[in-house]
Amino acid sequence: MKYDSDAIAELRDLSTRRLALRADCGEDNDSALDFLGSVRDSVLEQTEHIDAEDWQREMVDNHSGLVDQIAANAASVYTFPMWDEFVGLRAWQEDISEVTDNVSADLETLARVALEQIAYRLAVAVAADVLESVVD
């Protein structure tokens, strides 16, 4: 089994608008575009480390592993760029009530949770697309 290089190339070339649709978010500024591209690239980078026959187990079935790591590390570590990503992705529309009940968390923490949700959705979608590209 191997990855279809043409399908992987198509994923690399997906427009940020298509990525935003896959992540169900906005894409209103350069920070948002960089965020979405970075998540996609982080998933695709795993094709260099994970054999095609192991992709299902590593990236699709076991979301608590690499996909979660990619999502958790997607937002900028710096405050201003993180808020720029938040605005550009329209992350204020995220319902984070299911993943956090800590109403005493500061706004930056809550914003990061919203960004992580967006990154997670996109990472799962791209991982599923890579799985579809696996050929015998």
The residues pairing with 3 across neighbouring beta strands, listed in sequence order, are 134
> Which stretches of the chain score pLDDT less than 70?
62-64, 101-104
CA–CA dist 11, 21 (Å, integer): 14
Query: What per-residue confidence (pLDDT) applies to 104?
Result: 65
Left if phi > 0, otherwise alpha if psi is -120 to 50, otherwise beta: which for 62?
Answer: beta
Query: What per-residue confidence (pLDDT) applies to 73?
Result: 96
Instruction: Note the pTM of the prediction, 2 decimals.
Output: 0.91
CA–CA dist 83, 78 (Å, integer): 9
Query: What per-residue confidence (pLDDT) applies to 62?
Result: 65
Query: What per-residue confidence (pLDDT) applies to 4?
Result: 92
| Identity of residue 41 | D
Percent of the chain whose pLDDT exceeds 90: 68
The residues pairing with 134 across neighbouring beta strands, listed in sequence order, are 3
Q: Where are the domains of the chain?
A: 2-135
Residue 3 is classified by DSSP as E
pLDDT in tens, 80-101: 999 999 999 999 999 988 777 6
Query: What per-residue confidence (pLDDT) applies to 27?
Result: 87
CA–CA dist 85, 115 (Å, integer): 8
Give the three-class secondary structure for 134: strand
Query: What per-residue confidence (pLDDT) applies to 35?
Result: 96
Give the three-class secondary structure for 58: helix
φ, ψ at 2 (rounded to 5°): -150, 170
pLDDT in tens, 30-42: 899 999 999 999 9
CA distances to 42, 66, 79, 85, 100 from 58, rounded to whole Å, are 14, 7, 32, 28, 26
